[in-house]
Amino acid sequence: MEVHKKEYRPRRIILMRHAESQGNLDKAVYTITPDYKLPLTQQGLDQARLAGDGLRRVVSETGSNPHNWGVYFYVSPYERTRSTLREIGRSFSKNRVIGVREECRIREQDHGNFQVEERMKVIKETRDRYGRFFYRFPEGESLADVYDRVSSFLDTIWRDIDMKRLHRDPSQDLNLIILTHGLTLRVFLMKWFKWTAKQFESLKNPGNCEFRVMQLGDGGDYSLAIHHTEEELRAWGLSPEMIADQQWRATAQRGDWNEKCPWYLDAFFDRLADSDESVANGDEISNTRLSLLPMHARHRLLAGKFCWKILLICSLLYLILSVIVTSTVSSHFQTA
């Protein structure tokens, strides 16, 4: 763990959704109040205070130095996230808070100014038909747009870490806490762990004040499987393959490549040869793979191969005849 300390890497990156807002309670408020101005409910304020106690317990868990830790907050500029942070802050003493930064790139997905309920119902039905990740709301954003700005934010985090802007004490356990929105939180995880758009669709939205803890493993990689149980990951919508990848990351060396991760290669190349020698012996491999195909597909493939061979033979014959004709004509002119 000493190596990672010298690199000033955070011990934890904690992603948290805001507390209950008026918009969670009554969708009609979106028609008269801008999304970014929606306040917390009284229950939301209580949730945030309790969440602050929970966060403090997590970041003060036994580590290499359980008495020397600090927190650095990134917060969305929306009123509901800022209010959540104010209540959470009651659980931390001033000397524990290294810094706070308002970050526009982790705001909620823009659904398009005031949201008329009847119109939004039609829009969301269209989104479901088109595809949730790539559908762009009129005057708003798609999830792909959110992904792009979250990607830019991640680059900023790494620059801040590398340039030691977040803290300068290598003996201190640094905890980054990112106060954001449910959808943005899921997009952050998608980008970090290289999940696909299809995998994103299966993720459950976290409840108000729920958080996800990405903890630094002994090998230098971050994983959800260190702090959270397999049952929790499954309840959040992670597939068995995604859970296995998190468990692998818990002990993986930083920079390692998980060759068993199916969505890295298998999703695109499910029939790659194991080596160059295998490619050289392509006929044998092709025959083996051919036998695995359904009969109609096999006949279609063989017919295609046969046509290709006929075309190749015809091309060669044409080339030979062209050479013969050219030679004959040339000889004729020389004789003349």
- Rounded distance between C-alpha atoms, residue 200 and residue 172, angstroms: 34
- Rounded distance between C-alpha atoms, residue 88 and residue 79, angstroms: 14
Catalytic, 108? Answer yes
DSSP code of 257? Answer: -
Where helices occur in the chain by DSSP H, the ranges are 2-6, 22-25, 42-59, 79-88, 117-130, 143-162, 182-193, 197-201, 230-235, 240-249, 276-280, 282-292, 295-335
Which of 20, 87, 108, 141 is an active site residue? 108
- Rounded distance between C-alpha atoms, residue 162 and residue 128, angstroms: 41
Catalytic, 18? Answer yes
- Rounded distance between C-alpha atoms, residue 121 and residue 119, angstroms: 5
Of 21, 23, 24, whose CA–CA distance to 44 is shortest?
A: 21
- Rounded distance between C-alpha atoms, residue 41 and residue 232, angstroms: 27
Which of 4, 18, 167, 228 is an active site residue? 18
Residue positions annotated with a catalytic role: 18, 108
